[in-house]
């Protein structure tokens, strides 16, 4: 719901701060007072087209800020904000702001976070519905009629959507399998050869790394063999260095008690023997690891080079050859399975299609029944609105299969015929301005309990009518305001009297500057304004008395 609107330097408005409440708020004023400027300003805040001409003469920029109640958790609006990374604190109002510079440039903000004008329009469509004689959105857009009918029918579309997804998944799986089998059949000879070649070679996971490491170690062994033999010789035999250390340690052990330094020398010699033994062991292990076997080296290199050549041939990493073999074998298995595998997928596609058609047909039946109820509901609203010669119908047609989707099989469109014997056609093409506004009101009343934006604006919906018709319009607007916040620009005293709030738009000039102001009227001022609407330039006592009667009857 719209709670506040602040306007700065827009056309004739210098500074304006308005607050709005629930229910029906009427906006009145003399012709040319600037009611359209107020709506243009609100439209600008909601992503409408910006232009330098909107900036008040002499000002550097125009600013419009609109505040709304916090979006409900889990609502489509909250989801839209989250998708675009816009923070919306729980319980905090949603504030949209638009700045237009005198050179025509503009900036948009949502809760003080920069946003695009396109996003602002998406947000605005969820916040406010604007209905006027030239509005081409909302009820006049046939693309939204199916969703409106579903809301009126309170139909559950999730079963159809789920069935659609299952059917498409089954069809995709079948088409993919057919393509795989066709491709595999075309390449069967090559596939048989590739499987035979890979199976005989029997690649193993991680084999390239193992072979390369072993090859590198043997190549090192070949380079280090002479040095290794020399070092090992220093340790080997009874004349080796380690043997002589052990022999010296035994001799020293016998005489060590004779002097402390001999004991210390024995300890150092024992440590040397231990370290030497560890060195001898490590040398032996290194000799094994780096053992150079020309035959083994040749075999390892042959296997490694063939592995890499095979990988290059199939354009995969060497470690991917085993996975490739399994993939080729699976493709071969699909070929062997042949029609048996395809038959199962075809059965699944047929079954899921049947399930989708069953669910979609049930939804279509619900829509047709709801269309009849909606037609009757709208028809009951037409006569009081002086549209008793008009006819309304909800057209439901089955779409060709190529246009079926998650929302079912149907095309839905609202159509009217304004005169007896005249053909039906789209609302926007058949009805005149005044008729179209009243048709929209009739539809909104019929659909009142089925959701929509929390705020609706009707721009001069009562143009060209008066008396009983204006009273009927006012009564229906008041009824509609029980379900949503309504802002109504009106010239009709009968409609104005129905308002829970009343704003008077007036243009004032001091001879140099013209300004548009908006005042919230108290009960006495409301009576005076409605009396003016009844009598014209000179307000009479009779007009005041009639205004009192209208207000009391509202």
Identify which has the larger pLDDT, 436 or 174: 174
- In the predicted structure, residue 535 carries a pLDDT above the cut 80: yes
Identify which has the larger pLDDT, 479 or 238: 479
Identify which has the larger pLDDT, 14 or 139: 14
d(Cα 26, Cα 280) in Å, to the nearest integer?
Answer: 103
Burial class (CB in 10 A: 0-12, 13-18, 19+), 235: middle
d(Cα 28, Cα 11) in Å, to the nearest integer?
Answer: 19
pLDDT score recorded for residue 394: 94
- In the predicted structure, residue 363 carries a pLDDT above the cut 70: yes
H or E element in which residue 411 lies: strand 410-417
pLDDT (mean) for 49-72: 87
pLDDT category at 138 given cuts 50, 70, 90 is low
Q: Say if 84 falls within a structural domain.
A: no
Q: 450-467 pLDDT, tens per residue?
A: 556 788 888 877 777 777
- In the predicted structure, residue 183 carries a pLDDT above the cut 80: no
pLDDT score recorded for residue 30: 79
Q: 275 lies in which domain range?
A: 188-337
pLDDT score recorded for residue 306: 92
Cβ-defined contacts of 235-238 (< 8 Å, 24+): 235/276, 235/279, 235/280, 235/283
Return the sign of the alpha-carbon dihedral for residues 100, 101, 107, 111.
negative
- In the predicted structure, residue 224 carries a pLDDT above the cut 80: no
Q: Say if 213 falls within a structural domain.
A: yes
pLDDT category at 136 given cuts 50, 70, 90 is very low
Percent helix, strand, coil in the chain, to 5, is 60, 15, 25
Identify which has the larger pLDDT, 334 or 496: 496
Cα–Cα distances (Å) from 100 to 11, 56, 94, 248, 517, in that order, read: 12, 11, 20, 100, 21
Q: Say if 87 falls within a structural domain.
A: no
Find out whether 445 and 475 touch, Cβ atoms under 8 Å: no
Q: Say if 212 falls within a structural domain.
A: yes
d(Cα 487, Cα 464) in Å, to the nearest integer?
Answer: 19
Q: Say if 240 falls within a structural domain.
A: yes
CA 435 to chain centre: 38
Q: Say if 194 falls within a structural domain.
A: yes
Q: Which tokens sit at 303?
A: 């296997």
Q: Say if 233 falls within a structural domain.
A: yes
d(Cα 109, Cα 115) in Å, to the nearest integer?
Answer: 5
φ/ψ of residue 395, rounded to 5: -90, 125
- In the predicted structure, residue 228 carries a pLDDT above the cut 80: no
pLDDT score recorded for residue 219: 76
Q: Say if 305 falls within a structural domain.
A: yes
CB crowding 450-489: b at 16 or more within 10 Å, else e: bebbbbbbbbbbbbbbeeebbbbbbbbbbebbebbbbbbb
Only one residue has tokens 């014997």, namely 421
- In the predicted structure, residue 449 carries a pLDDT above the cut 90: no
Find out whether 252 and 245 touch, Cβ atoms under 8 Å: no
* Number of continuous H segments (helices) and E segments (strands) in the chain: 18, 15
pLDDT score recorded for residue 470: 85
pTM over 0.75: no
CB crowding 186-219: b at 16 or more within 10 Å, else e: eeeeebeebbeebeeeebeeebbeebbebbebbe
> How many domains are there within the chain?
1
């Amino acid at each position: 719901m719209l709670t506040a609107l602040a306007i700065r330097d827009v056309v004739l408005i210098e500074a304006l701060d308005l607050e709005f409440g629930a229910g029906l708020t009427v906006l009145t004023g003399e012709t040319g007072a600037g009611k359209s400027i107020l709506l243009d300003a609100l439209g600008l805040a909601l992503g409408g087209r910006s232009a330098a001409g909107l900036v008040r003469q002499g000002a550097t920029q125009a600013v419009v800020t609109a505040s709304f109640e916090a979006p409900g958790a889990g609502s489509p609006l909250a989801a839209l904000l989250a998708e675009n990374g816009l923070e919306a604190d729980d319980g905090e109002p949603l504030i949209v702001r638009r700045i237009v510079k005198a050179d025509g440039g503009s900036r948009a903000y949502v809760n003080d976070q920069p946003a695009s004008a396109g996003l602002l329009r998406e947000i605005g469509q969820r916040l406010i519905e604007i209905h006027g004689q030239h509005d081409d959105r909302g009820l006049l857009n046939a693309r939204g009629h199916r969703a409106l009918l579903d809301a009126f029918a309170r139909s559950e579309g999730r079963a159809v959507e789920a069935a659609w997804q299952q059917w498409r998944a089954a069809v995709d799986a079948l088409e993919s399998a057919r393509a795989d089998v066709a491709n595999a059949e075309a390449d069967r000879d090559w596939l048989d050869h590739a499987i035979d070649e890979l199976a005989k070679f029997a690649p193993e996971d991680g084999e390239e790394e193992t072979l390369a490491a072993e090859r590198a170690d043997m190549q090192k062994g070949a380079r280090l063999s002479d040095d290794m033999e020399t070092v090992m010789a220093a340790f080997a035999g009874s004349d080796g260095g380690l043997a002589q250390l052990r022999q010296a340690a035994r001799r020293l052990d016998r005489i060590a008690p004779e002097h402390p330094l001999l004991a210390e020398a024995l300890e150092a010699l024992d440590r040397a023997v231990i370290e030497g033994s560890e060195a001898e062991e490590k040398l032996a292990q290194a000799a094994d690891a780096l053992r150079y076997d020309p035959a083994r080296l040749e075999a390892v290199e042959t296997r490694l080079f063939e592995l890499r050549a095979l990988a290059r041939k199939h354009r995969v990493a060497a470690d991917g050859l085993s996975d490739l073999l399994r993939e080729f074998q699976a493709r071969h298995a699909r070929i062997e399975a042949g029609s048996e595998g395809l038959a199962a997928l075809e059965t699944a596609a047929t079954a899921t299609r049947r399930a989708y058609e069953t669910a979609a047909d049930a939804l279509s039946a619900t829509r047709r029944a709801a269309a009849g109820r909606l037609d009757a509901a709208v028809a009951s609203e037409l006569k009081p609105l002086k549209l008793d010669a008009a006819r309304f119908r909800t057209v439901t047609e089955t779409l060709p299969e190529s246009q079926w989707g998650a929302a079912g099989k149907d095309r839905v469109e609202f159509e009217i015929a304004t005169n007896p014997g005249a053909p039906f056609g789209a609302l926007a093409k058949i009805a005149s301005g005044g008729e179209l506004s009243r048709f929209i009101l009739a539809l909104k009343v019929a659909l009142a309990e089925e959701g929509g934006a929390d705020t609706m604006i009707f721009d001069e919906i009562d143009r060209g009518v008066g008396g009983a018709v204006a009273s009927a319009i006012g009564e229906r607007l008041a009824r509609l305001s029980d379900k949503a916040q309504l802002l109504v620009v009106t010239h009709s005293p009968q409609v104005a009297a129905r308002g829970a709030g009343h704003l008077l738009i007036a243009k004032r000039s001091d001879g140099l500057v013209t300004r548009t102001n908006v005042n919230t009227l108290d009960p006495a001022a409301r009576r005076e304004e409605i009396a003016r609407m009844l009598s014209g330039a000179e307000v009479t006592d009779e007009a005041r008395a009639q205004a009192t009667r209208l207000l009391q009857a509202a």
